[in-house]
Structure 1
Amino acid sequence: MSELSKRRLKTWIRLLGVTRAAEAELREFLRLQHDTTLPRFDVMAALWRRREGLTMSELSRMLLVSNGNATAVVDRLEKDGLARRRPSETDRRTVFVDLTEEGLRAFEGMAEGHEMEVDRLLSDLDDADLEAMVTLLRKMKKDRK
């Protein structure tokens, strides 16, 4: 293995560590401040972005989770009055899910807190740092397509 290969591996490990630590802090924040989970927040975020609703398959694909995982979260959101399912007008087999008015309000409150928490987590990075990071991440993603 080359020295560059070893440095790439160390960088990968550091990237994973930073990501996992930040995600753990976000999970704890959402649990303590909003009595919710990160998967629930992610589902609500996807539904908030697509106000017209999503099929369960679309939702699963967007979130990179199984239909079963998405269904379990949507079941709980529906039970809590934050989401609703509605049949497609053109295909009986298709069901759309979207946020209720209460769900929209609840998500917007969580999203504001989430943004503030992410801002806190990344507060050591200035504008130049963020621009450099975005440039590097785009370069990595471009290579994977």
Structure 2
Amino acid sequence: MDGSVDGAADMAAKQRLRMWLRMLKSTRRVESALRDRLRRDFSSTLPRFDVLAALDRFEDGLKMSALSGVLRVSNGNVTGIVDRLAEEGLVVRVQVPGDRRASLVRLTQKGKEVFAKQALAHETWINELLEDFTPEEARMFSDRFDAVTHKDEEDPA
């Protein structure tokens, strides 16, 4: 086998590794800024925001197991957050008809209003943090990341 082919493959692998490390560093920076801003402006946390965002997408509510699945975290992680959100009147648990053990978690009107304010701020912050990307670049990166996500779903090897 030609050594230049192996060298090119090795160089490509190293470049992809560098790209991944830079993506990870950038993601952590953006996530840290979001955590700080949620804490500062709303006395809230990113996991709470994520729960509210998930529930906002499902008007009828979600069972705790489905909510955990949407967020890709354990039930235990979500339970404490939902408990606190319920205490604050942002979510309510509703019994599932015909299943005494299951309940749905839904946003209350107050929860919808609080989330709407946070979501608007979140979008503004993301726009500020990523303003160096043109809309075309943002679309291209979104498409590329979607391709990575779908590849993982289609080829679980």
Superposition TM-score tier, normalisation by shorter sequence: over 0.9
* Map of 2:47 onto structure 1: 39
Q: Secondary structure at the match of 1:94?
A: strand
* Map of 2:4 onto structure 1: none
Is residue 102 of structure 1 aligned with residue 87 of structure 2? no
* Map of 2:145 onto structure 1: 137
Q: Distance in 2 between matches of 1:46 and 1:139?
A: 22
Compare 72-81 and 130-139 and name the one that shifted more: 130-139
* Map of 2:13 onto structure 1: 5
Compare 13-22 and 130-139 and name the one that shifted more: 130-139
Using CA pairs under 8 Å that are at least 6 residues apart, name the structure with larger relative contact order, 1 or 2: 1
Deviating runs (4+, > 2 A) in structure 1? Answer: none
Q: Distance in 1 between matches of 2:95 and 2:136?
A: 48
Cα shift at 1:100:
0.9
Q: Distance in 2 between matches of 1:40 and 1:141?
A: 24
Q: Distance in 2 between matches of 1:66 and 1:2?
A: 38
Give me the TM-score of the superposition, normalised by structure 1: 0.95
Question: Partner letter of residue 63 of structure 1?
Answer: L
| Structure 1 unaligned regions, length at least 5 | none
Question: Partner letter of residue 23 of structure 2?
Answer: L
Residues 1-145 of structure 1: matches in 2 within 5 Å? 2-144=10-152, 145=154
Go from structure 1 to structure 2 and tell me whether the alpha carbon gap of 1:5 and 1:37 turns closer, same or farther (over 3 Å shift). Answer: same
Tell me the number of residue pairs that the alignment of Structure 1 and Structure 2 aligns: 145
Pick the structure with greater CA Rg: 2
Cα shift at 1:135:
2.6
Q: Secondary structure at the match of 1:92?
A: strand
Cα shift at 1:90:
1.7
Question: Partner letter of residue 100 of structure 1?
Answer: T
Deviations 1:12-70 (A, max 9, x none): 10010000000000111111011100000000011111111100000000000100110
